[in-house]
Amino acid sequence: MDLRSFIGKPEVRRGRSVDFEIARDLFENPGKTLLFQDVPGYKFDVVGNVITCRDDVYQALGTNREDYIEYVTQRSQNPVEPVVIDSGACQEEECSLSDIPVIRHFEKDGGRYITSGIVVAKDPEYGCNVSIHRMLVRDDGRIGIRIVPRHLRSFMDRAEARGEDLEIAIAIGVDPRVFYAASYSPRQGYDEFSFAGAIMDGPLELVKCRTVDIEVPAHAEFVIEGRILAGLREPEGPFADVTGTYDRVRDEPVIEVTKVTHRRGAVYQALLPASIEHRLFMGMPREPGIYSAVSEVAEVKYACLTNGGKNWLHGVVSLSKTPDDVKSVIEHAFEGHKSMKHVVIVNDDIDIFNSDEIEYAISTRFQAHRDTYVYRNMRGSTLDPSTDEDGLTTKVGIDATIPPGREPEYEFAKIPGPKV
- Minimum distance from residue 225 beta carbon to Mn ion (Å): 20
- Report how many helices (DSSP H) and strands (DSSP E) the chain contains, helices first: 12, 23
Residue 1 CB, nearest distance to Mn ion (Å)? 21
Among 49, 129, 261, 393, contact with Mn ion (rule: CB under 5 A): 129
CA distance 108 to 295: 42
Beta strands across the sheet bearing 34-37? 11-14, 34-37, 45-48, 267-270
Question: What are the φ and ψ backbone dihedral angles of 112, each rounded to 5 degrees?
Answer: -85, 130
Residues forming beta bridges with residue 104, ordered by sequence position: 19
Map residue 128 onto helix, strand or coil.
strand
Residue type, 77: Q
CB 264 within 8 A of CB 92: yes
* Residue 182: CB minimum distance to Mn ion, A: 8
Q: Label the pairing between strands 342-347 and 45-48.
A: unpaired
**Residue placing its CB nearer to Mn ion in the complex, 106 or 155:** 155
Please count the residues of this chain forming the interface with Mn ion, following the rule CB under 5 A.
2
Between helices 68-76 and 54-61, what is the axis angle to 10°? Answer: 40
* Count of C-beta atoms within a 10 Å radius of residue 134: 23
For the bound state, the minimum distance from the C-beta of residue 193 to Mn ion, rounded and expressed in Å, comes to 10
Choose between 121 and 294: whose C-beta lies nearer to Mn ion: 121
- By CB under 5 A, name the one of 142, 146, 151, 279 that touches Mn ion: 151
- Catalytic residue positions, numbered: 241
**Segment lying near Mn ion (by CB under 5 A), choices 125-133, 263-271, 322-330, 379-387:** 125-133
Rounded to whole angstroms, the Cα distance separating 269 from 274 reads 16
CB neighbour burial string for 78-98, b if at least 16 within 10 angstroms, e if fewer: ebbebeeeeebbbbeeeeebe
Residue 59's Cβ-count burial label (10 Å; 0-12, 13-18, 19+) is middle
Q: Are strands 299-305 and 314-321 parallel, antiparallel or unpaired?
A: antiparallel
Q: Point out which span in 43-51, 147-155, 269-277, 390-398 binds Mn ion (CB under 5 A).
A: 147-155
122 binds Mn ion (CB under 5 A): no
Contacts of 101 (CB under 8 A, 6+ apart): 18, 39, 41, 42, 44, 46, 268
Q: Please state the closest distance from residue 192 (CB atom) to Mn ion, in A.
A: 6
Q: How large is the C-alpha radius of gyration of the chain?
A: 22
CB 223 within 8 Å of CB 114: no
Per the DSSP assignment, residues forming a β-bridge with 321 are 299
- Closest approach of Cβ 65 to Mn ion, in Å? 26
- Element (H or E) spanning 157, and its range? helix 151-161
| Minimum distance of Mn ion from residue 177's CB (angstroms) | 16
CB of 117 to Mn ion, least distance (A): 15
Residue nearest to Mn ion (CB): 151
Site of interaction with Mn ion (CB under 5 A): 129, 151
